[in-house]
Amino acid sequence: MTDRHIPADLPERIQHYIDGEFVDSADGDTFEVLDPVTNETYLQAAAGKKADIDRAVAAAKRAFDEGPWPKMVARDRSRILHRIADIVESRDTRLAELESFDSGLPITQALGQARRAAENFRFFADLIVAQHDNAFKVPGRQMNYVNRKPIGVAGLITPWNTPFMLESWKLGPALATGNTVVLKPAEFTPLSASLWAGIFEEAGLPKGVFNLVNGLGEDAGDALVKHPDVPLISFTGESRTGQIIFGNAAPFLKGLSMELGGKSPAVVFADADLDVAIDACIFGVFSLNGERCTAGSRILVERPVYDEFVERYAAQAKRVKVGDPQDPTTEVGALVHPEHYEKVMSYVEIGKTEGRLVAGGGRPEGFPTGNYVAPTVFADVSPDARIFQEEIFGPVVAITPFDSEEEALALANDTKYGLAAYVWTNDLKRGHNFAQAVEAGMVWLNSNNVRDLRTPFGGVKASGLGHEGGYRSIDFYTDQQSVHITLGEPHNPTFGKSAHAPEEPSLDDPDPR
Ligand code: NAD
């Protein structure tokens, strides 16, 4: 690839950002960041450990306890969040260029992610101004209201698949609600996260509100999870990591939000509009290089259209354009890292023993180096196959036939995951019944995964714990304190005043808890 575009002014090293300053690790340690197209080191990033996390948490705690941010009126915080959105929008091309270079994501998709990051900030900027909390009145007797408060220092731990966008997904609501944060981005892709500091400074976010510590999960991530001054952790990543974090957070009884892995089914009934379903099922697993938590990576197809579906799907998968991530015509770029590439390739080899290979199956032609995987399709995959059960997180899909709605539902639910499901049918009743019965946190009916930001986002089973999205994010990042005021005479069951028997209980008595 001789005419490869390399972004101008790439940094050679990146630091942490603590209390408004860029700093190295306390012990000076760094780790290498690779370019996924050449797998050569292009960047050294500060490798944070417990000492760096301690420093970042102390700064965030100070900003929370003593700074203006948590006490600011919503409109003022909202203005700063809108400025952040404006700046992100105005730099979308540069952000996309850097993100694509660092992660291997196709540039056009990275651009969409940058714009979505801006939209996340804009959305929560609007939401906190519109936010209202409940008041419950008992005429003449009592008034009760909800006093919503930011919680403190939020620990945000993010994966590498859509780095900047996923960071915005946590930063937006955490900051909007008045918390201060320590972000620990994924070690494979730290480049775009380092841009937040400049964006926040320019938008006027007070010092110490945003802190960033780079580093490995088992060092920096682990220290953040175990820090006693971090009362809540929002984590997105693998289910196995989620289990470890859950255990490590347990002694502190921390608030946890977990967005974990997936193996989502796309279920195509014979009456579906096949052209649209095929397009959606191609995009659903090959976009973002297949490194997508909500990927429809198991396609279940009703027997009468199965052969036609497989043939047309495989033909289209072969036409999906693999290429340099920076090329605007590229549809599948390079996987993020050689370790991940090896994992995906090992599943391709496993798949060859478990299913019928109808497209791809290894490196695409013309790409002798770099983390490139040809869009790969296995048909006739049985439900006990590893490629049916396990998250591959690459451009690899398993197709399985079914004969009845009951069988489709059983197959759809037959994994440990439950993040998303896609249903394709023109039978209204069946579509809704299936959508409601499938074990998935989110279902799209005759739709690709287009999301309204107000809706809950989250998985069931091994795919997650809790929901974020819209008001659920506001709930996660705030405490809702109930304040009760007596309006009339205080109602006290009288104890110890006279010899006669206590009064009969009444609903006005103090709560029995
Ligand atoms: P990962 O679990 O390996 O890492 C995620 C983050 O956790 C990284 O920042 C990592 O450094 C950190 N980490 C690792 N070990 C840790 C520990 N012991 N303590 C604290 N932090 C630790 O995940 P990944 O490989 O970066 O991302 C891919 C996974 O993320 C896939 O499983 C994918 O499905 C999932 N994902 C889920 C969603 C969702 O919304 N459900 C979205 C995107 C990605």
pLDDT given for residue 130 in this prediction:
96
Classify domain 16-260+467-476 at the CATH topology level.
Aldehyde Dehydrogenase; Chain A, domain 1 (3.40.605)
**pLDDT on residue 496:** 84
How far is the first Cα of the chain from the last one, in angstroms, to the nearest whole number? 70
Tell me, what's the pLDDT at 2?
54
pLDDT at 3: 77
At 194 the pLDDT is 97
Residues whose CB is less than 8 angstroms from the CB of residue 115 and which lie 6 or more positions away in sequence, other chains included:
89, 92
Query: 265-453, superfamily in CATH?
Result: Aldehyde Dehydrogenase; Chain A, domain 2 (3.40.309.10)
What residues contact residue 158 under an 8 Å CB cut-off, 6+ apart?
166, 167, 170, 183, 184, 185, 186, 193, 236, 237
Q: Is the CB of 160 under 6 A from ligand 1?
A: yes
Residue-wise pLDDT for 435-449, tens only, equals: 999 999 999 999 999
User: How far is ligand 1, taken at its centre, from the CA of residue 476, in Å?
Assistant: 19
- Report the nearest-CA residue for atom 20 of ligand 1: 221
Sheet of 142-150: strands edge to edge?
Answer: 135-138, 142-150, 478-486
3-state class of 361 per DSSP? coil
Low-confidence ranges of the chain (pLDDT < 70): 1-2, 499
pLDDT of residue 492: 82
pLDDT tens-place string over residues 92-141? 999 999 999 999 999 999 999 999 999 999 999 999 999 999 999 999 99
| pLDDT score recorded for residue 503 | 74
What's the pLDDT score for residue 304? 98
> What pLDDT, on a 0 to 100 scale, did the predictor assign at position 506?
77
Catalytic residue among 97, 167, 187, 293: 293
By DSSP bridging, strand 135-138 and strand 142-150 are antiparallel
Confirm or reject: Cβ of 187 under 6 Å from ligand 1. Answer: yes
* Residue nearest ligand 1's atom 19 by CA: 222
pLDDT given at position 396: 98
Q: Using CA positions, which residue lies closest to atom 41 of ligand 1?
A: 259
Tell me the CA–centroid distance for residue 57 and ligand 1, in Å.
21
The ligand 1 atom at the shortest distance from the C-alpha of residue 186 is 9
Query: Where in the chain are the domains?
Result: 16-260+467-476, 265-453
pLDDT of residue 398: 99
Reported pTM: 0.97
What's residue 489's pLDDT?
86
Q: Which residue minimizes the CA distance to atom 10 of ligand 1?
A: 217
Q: Does 265-453 match 16-260+467-476 at the fold level?
A: no
**pLDDT for residue 504:** 79
**Alpha carbon of 255 to ligand 1 centroid (Å):** 18
